[in-house]
Homo-oligomer: A and B are copies of this chain.
């Protein structure tokens, strides 16, 4: 199944990529590596706010991470014009807005990791990853994810 058929079977419609901010860009390509800016969690177009372990439970954080992965796909689409040009999801950096006692950042991050494997398959979608808890995220967003991808030459 192609990437787009897979997205259709998952009932995922890619949103428009967010308009770039004034002072940085959503992605930079260097060689065949694509460095994608941190994307924050959103709900109905606004930041999905709150701290895991205080305001949100793990399942909500995981859902937020899955939503970010969809937004990252939209950015990959904008960067490549064709998601089939993605050779490999190389690495995710998953930042979870965490109370000092919340220790399930890896389970939150799985929400994004699983989506990339569902959409791209294991050979292309399985990635290296770091996940950890941060003191805050811009606009009180609950999760932020940065991505590195390898593109086909």
Contact = CB atoms under 8 A, between A and B. Distances in A.
How big is the A interface, by class?
35 or more
A80 interface: no
Q: How many monomers of this chain does the complex have?
A: 3
Contacts of A21: 106
Nearest to A146: B130
Interface in A88-143: 88, 90-93, 95-96, 98-106, 109-110, 113-114, 117, 126-140
- Scoring A28, A36, A51, A88 by chain B CB atoms within 10 A of each residue's CB, the highest score goes to A28
A25 B124 CA distance: 11
A109 B136 CA distance: 14
A130 B150 contact: no
A80 to B, nearest CB: 15
Interface of A: 21, 23-28, 30-33, 35-38, 51, 87-88, 90-93, 95-96, 98-106, 109-110, 113-114, 117, 126-140, 144, 146, 148, 150
9 contacts: A23-B126, A25-B126, A28-B91, A30-B90, A38-B131, A103-B137, A105-B137, A132-B138, A133-B136
